């Protein structure tokens, strides 16, 4: 799970959320739509994998986050997140301990997608929920991210997924898909001055940059 840029440039990465508040607001809004209504913010049975600097965990009320990048975890700690150093392919979490697991764009950086999804299934309770977000490479904006990723210190090593490929991988790992959502249909910079666009969430995948899936372990 490549983490050097997120360690060495943690402050620069974190600053993106301040510089792109409209896009962050849109992403958070879509995630909130996907999280089950029964979720109790602050529950110690909720976890973000690939928590980074803790922006999403903080915004969603998720108290615990796993990440391999020490400096990013330190920023997450400052936001009140309980930081756990580890990788997605071998989570330092007890089996059947989590009611809600959230993974925001981190699947693009794991070394072994199959092992990661197996681990997420292991730590979830039988009726637990997994919410995954990816930068959809098959969306118009996602295709441009793919074309330009080599120029980014953060995305150069990313293996972007599509929303549909994410669903297929989840189903192969023994999950049932419940919800498919998407947001960010225009240049993220345009969302700064247009709160209506930043609140636009549609069903399905393929048009919006930020694709969200909710799944549960199959019976």
| Domains in the chain: ranges and CATH | 4-217 (3.40.50.150)
User: Given a cut of 60, is residue 2 above it in pLDDT?
Assistant: no
pLDDT in tens, 184-219: 998 888 887 777 777 799 999 999 999 999 999 997
Does the pLDDT of residue 77 top 90, yes or no?
yes
Query: Does the pLDDT of residue 35 top 80, yes or no?
Result: yes
Judge contact between 52 and 6, C-beta under 8 A.
Answer: yes
Q: Are 101 and 49 in contact (CB under 8 A)?
A: yes
- Asked whether the predicted pLDDT for residue 3 surpasses 60, the reply is no
Beta bridge partners of 135: 210
pLDDT at 4: 66
Q: Is the dihedral of CA 29, 31, 37, 43 positive or negative?
A: negative
Averaged confidence pLDDT in the chain = 92
Q: Above pLDDT 90, what percent of the chain?
A: 74
Q: Residue 160 has what pLDDT?
A: 94
Whether residue 46 has pLDDT greater than 80: yes
Pairing of strands 210-217, 98-104: unpaired
If you average pLDDT over residues 142-157, what whole number do you get? 80
Backbone angles phi, psi at 67, to 5 degrees: -165, 150
DSSP string computed for the chain: ---HHHHHTHHHHHHHHHHTHHHHHHHHHHHHHHS-TT--TT-TTEEEET-TTSHHHHHHT--EEEES-HHHHHHHHHTT-EEEE-BTTB--S-TT-EEEEEEESGGGG-S-HHHHHHHHHHHEEEEEEEEEEEE-TTSHHHHHHHHHGGG-TTTTT-----HHHHHHHHHHTTEEEEEEEEE--S-GGGGGG-HHHHT--EESSSSSSEEEEEEEE--
Confidence of residue 70 (pLDDT cuts 50, 70, 90): very high
Written as six digits, the tokens of 53 are 């600097």
The pLDDT of residue 199: 78
pLDDT digits (tens, 9 = 90+) for 160-190: 999 999 999 999 999 999 999 999 998 888 8
98-120 average pLDDT score = 97
Contacts for 159 with CB less than 8 Å, ≥ 6 apart: 108, 109
Claim: this prediction has a pTM higher than 0.85: yes
Is a pLDDT exceeding 80 seen at residue 15? yes
């Amino acid at each position: 799970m490549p983490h050097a840029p997120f360690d060495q440039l943690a402050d620069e990465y974190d600053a993106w959320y301040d510089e792109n508040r409209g896009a962050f607001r849109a992403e958070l809004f879509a995630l909130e739509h996907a999280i089950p209504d029964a979720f109790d913010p602050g529950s110690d049975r909720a976890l973000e994998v690939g928590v980074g600097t803790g922006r999403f965990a903080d915004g969603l009320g998720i108290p615990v986050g796993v990440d391999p990048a020490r400096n990013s975890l330190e920023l997450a700690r400052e936001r009140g997140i309980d930081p756990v150093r580890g990788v997605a392919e071998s989570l330092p979490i007890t089996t059947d301990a989590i009611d809600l697991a959230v993974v925001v764009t981190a699947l693009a950086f794991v070394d072994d997608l199959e092992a990661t999804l197996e681990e997420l299934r292991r730590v979830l309770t039988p009726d637990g929920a997994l919410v995954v977000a990816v930068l959809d490479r098959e969306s118009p904006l996602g295709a441009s991210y793919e074309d330009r990723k080599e120029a980014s210190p953060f995305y150069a090593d990313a293996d972007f997924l599509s929303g549909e490929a994410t669903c297929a991988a989840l189903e192969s790992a023994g999950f049932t898909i419940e919800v498919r959502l998407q947001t960010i249909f225009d240049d993220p910079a345009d969302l700064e001055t247009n709160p209506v666009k930043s609140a636009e969430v549609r069903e399905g995948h393929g048009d919006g940059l930020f694709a969200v899936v909710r799944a549960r372990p199959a019976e």
